[in-house]
């Protein structure tokens, strides 16, 4: 749920009721750098095994598919501490052969209305995000935690 970028999507996010913060097959937990995990507080996170080590992701609220930090009003409790992967959504950087390209989640109701400034800012954040991890780790996260990427990979470039 991107309400913290320079260009907010809040007008779309309120009626949407935070679809992207309810984890499930298509939308998964953001992967966190150690620095992000430290800032957010590791008690509310879980460490999961990846091929090259263990990495932090956010827990779900008990017996639900809601991100631990999503409140009852469907707002993110983290605000200024939001993970990079939340800040760039619905845009994400992905590897394609030796290149990095950008894709959007077309299921996000705001995705058809992103303006140039939003796209520019989100791409910068998405690049920061992909560069934090080695390629295998990032790809493992996309493959196992971010289902919409698999679905979208052949679709629109932004």
Instruction: In angstroms, give the least distance from the CB of 20 to ligand SF4.
Output: 3
Q: Which is nearer to ligand SF4, 85 or 94 (CB)?
A: 85
Q: Which is nearer to ligand SF4, 21 or 149 (CB)?
A: 21
Instruction: In angstroms, give the least distance from the CB of 103 to ligand SF4.
Output: 14
Instruction: In angstroms, give the least distance from the CB of 99 to ligand SF4.
Output: 26
Q: Which is nearer to ligand SF4, 26 or 127 (CB)?
A: 26
Instruction: In angstroms, give the least distance from the CB of 80 to ligand SF4.
Output: 11
- Bond into 90 cis (ω within 30): yes
Interface residues with ligand SF4 (CB under 6 A) are 1-2, 9, 12-13, 16, 18-21, 30, 58, 67, 69-70, 76, 78, 82-83, 86, 89-90, 108-110
DSSP letters, the chain, are ---SSSS--HHHHHHHT-GGGB-SSSS-PPEE-HHHHHHH-GGGEEEEEETTEEEEEEPBPTTSSBBTTB-TTS-BS-GGG--HHHHSTTEEEEEETTEEEEEE-TTSTTGGG--HHHHHHHHHHHHHHHHTS-HHHHHHHHHHH-HHHHHHTTS-B-
Q: Which is nearer to ligand SF4, 17 or 150 (CB)?
A: 17
Of 119, 150, 24, 46, the closest CA to residue 127 belongs to 119
**Cβ(129)–Cβ(32) below 8 Å:** no
Instruction: In angstroms, give the least distance from the CB of 118 to ligand SF4.
Output: 11
Q: Which is nearer to ligand SF4, 112 or 136 (CB)?
A: 112
């Amino acid at each position: 749920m991107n309400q913290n970028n320079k260009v907010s999507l809040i007008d779309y996010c309120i009626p949407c009721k935070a679809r992207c913060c309810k984890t499930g097959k298509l939308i998964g937990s953001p992967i966190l750098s150690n620095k992000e995990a430290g800032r957010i507080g590791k008690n509310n996170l879980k460490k999961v095994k990846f091929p090259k080590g263990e990495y932090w992701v956010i827990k779900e609220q008990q017996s639900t598919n809601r991100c631990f930090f999503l409140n009852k009003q469907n707002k993110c409790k983290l605000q200024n501490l939001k993970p990079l992967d939340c800040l760039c959504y619905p845009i994400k950087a992905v590897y394609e052969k030796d290149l990095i390209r950008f894709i959007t989640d077309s299921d996000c109701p705001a995705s058809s209305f992103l303006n140039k400034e939003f796209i520019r800012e989100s791409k910068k954040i998405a690049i920061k995000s992909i560069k934090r991890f080695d390629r295998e780790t990032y790809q493992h996260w996309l493959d196992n935690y971010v289902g919409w990427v698999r679905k979208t990979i052949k679709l629109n470039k932004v």
